[in-house]
């Protein structure tokens, strides 16, 4: 004999009265995200070597490179004006 499914417990979620995912009040959501980037193997190897040499994670190194790029770009744009 197959038991019938009881969806009554989901009624509050379906009506929007309760979240489908409950969180512990003492925990904050993780602020990090993950992404995937396609690149040639030699570019990746160079990037990883740079990360290892600087003892940084991929995300930390990307942040450093972005900040440097944006700083240089702002300087170039201000000179052009």
Structural domain span for residue 65: 38-81
pLDDT in tens, 2-32: 777 777 767 766 776 655 566 666 677 778 8
Q: What pLDDT, on the 0 to 100 scale, is given for residue 78?
A: 86
How many domains are there within the chain? 1
- Residue 65's pLDDT is 95
Cα gap 44→25, rounded to integer Å = 40
pLDDT per residue over 42-66, tens digit each? Answer: 999 999 999 999 999 999 999 999 9
DSSP string, the chain: -PPPP--GGGHHHHTTSS-SS---TT-PPP----------HHHHHHHHHHHHHHT--HHHHHHHHHHHHHHHHHHHHHHH-
The answer to whether residue 2 is domain-embedded is no
pTM of the predicted model, to two decimals? Answer: 0.58
Domain-embedded: residue 23 = no
Mean per-residue pLDDT, 58-75: 94
Residue 54 near residue 61, CB atoms below 8 Å: yes
Q: Are residues 47 and 41 in contact, defined by beta-carbon separation less than 8 angstroms?
A: no
């Amino acid at each position: 004999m197959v038991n019938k499914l009881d969806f009554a417990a989901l009624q509050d979620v379906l009506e929007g009265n309760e979240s489908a995912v409950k969180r512990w009040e003492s925990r904050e959501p993780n602020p990090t995200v993950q992404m995937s980037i396609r690149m040639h193997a030699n570019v990746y190897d160079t990037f990883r070597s740079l990360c290892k040499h600087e003892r940084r994670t991929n995300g930390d190194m990307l942040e450093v490179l972005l900040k440097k790029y944006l700083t240089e770009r702002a300087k170039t744009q201000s000179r052009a004006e």
